[in-house]
Chain A
């Protein structure tokens, strides 16, 4: 209870309704903020407590290398009569059973929960590389055009509105769009068009057939690119707008063309911000599940994208002698379907029976995934600080 104003202290609070409402509002807002912080902390702590023991171990090298370097596999758990639980993979199961002999009680198999998560990590990395390259090229071009070339008016407003709408499209819709556009109809060069080809244009030496790229890194990467495109365009445009107009005027007054002005006096100073936003775009692309479900990701794959049953390159000469084959094999990586971290987590959580072993794989994957995203965020902050120092005005 606040004291009321008196002759001795005329400035004491009068405990009026106004003061009470002020106190109530302050506490309500404070409680809301604390709740947000608490929730975030609880989520992080939960994942850390459950996931860290999977990714780390008490023995050297302290990181569970098996979890990070092996492909997912089916986990076999063999119970003995003395209550042992022996975990092994499909190849070790028989040996363990023989060793237990009379003691063998039962065998459980848990899909995807054994081995490691190298496949999903590699798949996510490839998807991110493709999507960020495509999104940066399209997004920065678009931002430069909107910011530097387009005249203010109806057209510009329409384009901005379209971009804003793109940001509001649910990600599963992007997935369906990717399925229709990239998986089933995107053009590619083939010798003989497939039967499902929408239409094909013969070019003499080859045929441009609109038959889609199939479920692969390329399809998924392009789909993800459209998911993060609005973020990249908006952020890039803001970064370009933040470059002082004086730089442009001065540059043009010195006889530079518009492109020279952009190239020498606008882009270098907008790059730090553009890169920062693109790294946030990476985190977004890495985390999306719906857009890659139909376009790139498999629930399970026992090979990495570059592990194909191809004859080895002849070893008689340097790799440059077979550069065409080397290049086509390298590009072949991008036409493979992959596993991806978010989809792997979804599979582990929703597609297999739940038990302690499945849970361990889930939390391990989530933990690794969060660490990756946090690393990217930290990298973006570091990059921003570093480049700001270099290009300040």
Chain B
């Protein structure tokens, strides 16, 4: 997997982060981050807590706009060359194209079906048939269909943790986004549920561009093509996952992956 990923593709990167500085009020959390992410790659963002990796992730779909004091200090993020923070960008259509899965699985306390089609409903899809089709498609992609097909009308909160998280993934891919952001998607799950999510990411790789924040370095090794290491708001190193874990350039990276830096 990661080992045989191709050398830097000639293709234009899908997401470009350019000299990106980001702050909460006066507290700057990202410093001059430069990072390119290729189409259909799985990129893992690693680093100790508070290093800014989640902030970068949440800046890509602008969900951090909900935090009152959050602001871009300078620099930009582009998807296909479009600056995400340009005034003419509509955050609603941006978020339809950039799905997100959160650390704590958080389906709405509604039926499984309603959770799966939430994004479509708010986008104005009313036709029952379209909704059912989309629900089945996305639940199948999230490897959840066989487990829930007979109880779509039951409360989603009655599912197991792993199932709830897969429902959250289904809910995100129901909108057929181009990019899927995952903020520590397995942090609240047991090892078996974690394995199923990782398997799911493997199945979906190639269909979406994944960006995954993780604290679990083994997980990064297992699922990511590229890995970026952040420390104190700075991007220290970004390379092929195998290069990062086997021959890191920076001594900081090395001490982090060997557990000497927390």
Chain A residues near B (Cβ < 8 Å): 151-153, 244, 246-257, 260, 264-265, 269, 391-393
Chain B residues near A (Cβ < 8 Å): 61, 63, 66, 68-69, 92-93, 95-96, 99-100, 102, 104, 106, 108-109, 118-119, 121-123, 157, 168, 171-172, 175
Asked if B66 and A252 make an inter-chain contact with CB atoms under 8 angstroms apart, the answer reads yes
Asked if A255 and B108 make an inter-chain contact with CB atoms under 8 angstroms apart, the answer reads no
Most B CB atoms within 10 A — which of A244, A249, A253, A391? A253
Q: Distance (Å) between the CB of A180 and the closest chain B CB?
A: 38
Bound-complex Cα distance A265 to B175 (A): 18
Known interface pairs A248-B66, A249-B63; A255-B175 also in contact (CB < 8 Å): yes
Asked if A253 and B61 make an inter-chain contact with CB atoms under 8 angstroms apart, the answer reads yes
Bound-complex Cα distance A247 to B105 (A): 11
Q: Distance (Å) between the CB of B175 and the closest chain A CB?
A: 6
Nearest-CB residue, chain A, relative to B109: A393
Known interface pairs A151-B68, A264-B122; A255-B106 also in contact (CB < 8 Å): no
Asked if B123 and A393 make an inter-chain contact with CB atoms under 8 angstroms apart, the answer reads no
Nearest-CB residue, chain A, relative to B91: A252
Nearest-CB residue, chain B, relative to A393: B109
**7 residue pairs, one from A and one from B, having the closest CB atoms:** A254-B119, A255-B96, A256-B122, A253-B100, A246-B106, A393-B109, A260-B122
Q: List, in ascending order, chain B residues with CB within 8 A of A391's CB.
A: 109
Nearest-CB residue, chain B, relative to A153: B68
Asked if B95 and A253 make an inter-chain contact with CB atoms under 8 angstroms apart, the answer reads yes
Q: Distance (Å) between the CB of B229 and the closest chain A CB?
A: 26
Q: List, in ascending order, chain A residues with CB within 8 A of B61's CB.
A: 253
Asked if B102 and A250 make an inter-chain contact with CB atoms under 8 angstroms apart, the answer reads yes
Nearest-CB residue, chain B, relative to A264: B122
Q: List, in ascending order, chain A residues with CB within 8 A of B92's CB.
A: 255-257
Q: List, in ascending order, chain A residues with CB within 8 A of B172's CB.
A: 253-254
Bound-complex Cα distance A264 to B115 (A): 11
Known interface pairs A254-B175, A255-B123, A265-B108; A152-B93 also in contact (CB < 8 Å): no
Bound-complex Cα distance A345 to B175 (A): 63
Q: List, in ascending order, chain A residues with CB within 8 A of B157's CB.
A: 392-393
Asked if A254 and B171 make an inter-chain contact with CB atoms under 8 angstroms apart, the answer reads yes
Asked if A255 and B95 make an inter-chain contact with CB atoms under 8 angstroms apart, the answer reads yes
Bound-complex Cα distance A264 to B118 (A): 9
Q: Distance (Å) between the CB of A55 and the closest chain B CB?
A: 44
Bound-complex Cα distance A251 to B107 (A): 10
- 27 sampled A-B residue pairs with Cβ under 8 A: A246-B104, A247-B106, A249-B63, A250-B102, A250-B108, A251-B108, A252-B63, A252-B66, A253-B61, A253-B99, A254-B95, A254-B118, A254-B172, A255-B95, A255-B96, A255-B119, A255-B122, A256-B92, A256-B118, A256-B122, A257-B122, A260-B122, A264-B118, A264-B121, A265-B108, A269-B109, A393-B157
